[in-house]
């Protein structure tokens, strides 16, 4: 009887991980071996502040979830200790935080992940991490949109000043 409960609990865990894989905009898989407790705590804090869920999961459980979510290409990176960061809102945050943390702590190694339903390698995760944040992209867009208006205003001002000089002479 206890065995049925254990199997049911494991199946529920697989279902939860499957739904996280499907619902996340970005999922990053990392090897955390070699990080001490203080480092893992700091990493979890940074990820939590960005709204990213970070879990250490058994590879067999994740493989069953990837099969259910039709992301079996991810199974290649599911070796050794595996920690996974799930983000349902921000596509860049998990990659950026984990990549920055890995630069400062050699023990953390990015393995790969899933971005918008596609399995990607370490290179794509690192490229995603180098992108500006959502706020940075919005400010760039705003400055691009403001430039023509600003230039037009400066041109109108220059014409008005020139006409004033001509009228006063």
Let me know the angle formed at the C-alpha of 31 by 73 and 101, rounded to the nearest 5 degrees.
Answer: 115
**CA distance linking residue 144 with residue 25, whole number of Å:** 27
Phi first, then psi, for residue 92 (nearest 5°) are -95, -35
Predicted confidence at residue 131, as pLDDT, reads 75
Report the chain (169 residues): mean pLDDT per 10 consecutive residues. Answer: 80 87 88 89 91 89 88 87 88 88 88 86 84 73 79 82 75
**CA distance linking residue 129 with residue 97, whole number of Å:** 8
The answer to whether residues 21 and 114 touch, using CB atoms and an 8 Å cutoff, is yes
Predicted confidence at residue 169, as pLDDT, reads 60
pTM: 0.72
DSSP string, 138-156: HHHHHHHHHHHHHHHHHHH
For domain 2-131, the question of CATH label 3.30.70.1730 is answered with: yes
Domain range list for the chain: 2-131, 133-168
């Amino acid at each position: 009887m206890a065995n049925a409960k254990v199997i049911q609990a494991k199946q529920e865990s697989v279902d939860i991980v499957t739904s996280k894989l499907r619902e996340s905009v970005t999922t990053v898989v990392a090897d955390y071996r070699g990080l001490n407790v203080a480092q893992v705590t700091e990493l979890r804090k940074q990820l939590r502040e960005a709204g990213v869920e970070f879990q250490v999961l058994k590879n067999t459980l994740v493989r069953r979830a990837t099969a259910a979510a039709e992301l079996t290409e991810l199974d290649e990176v599911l070796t050794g200790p595996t920690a996974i960061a799930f983000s349902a809102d921000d596509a860049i945050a998990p990659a950026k935080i984990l990549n920055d943390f890995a630069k400062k702590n050699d023990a953390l190694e990015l393995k790969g992940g899933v971005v918008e339903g596609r399995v990607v390698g370490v290179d794509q995760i690192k490229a995603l991490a180098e992108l500006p944040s959502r706020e940075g992209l919005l400010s760039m867009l705003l400055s691009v949109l403001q430039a023509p208006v600003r230039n037009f205003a400066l041109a109108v001002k220059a014409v008005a000043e020139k006409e004033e000089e001509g009228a006063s002479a």
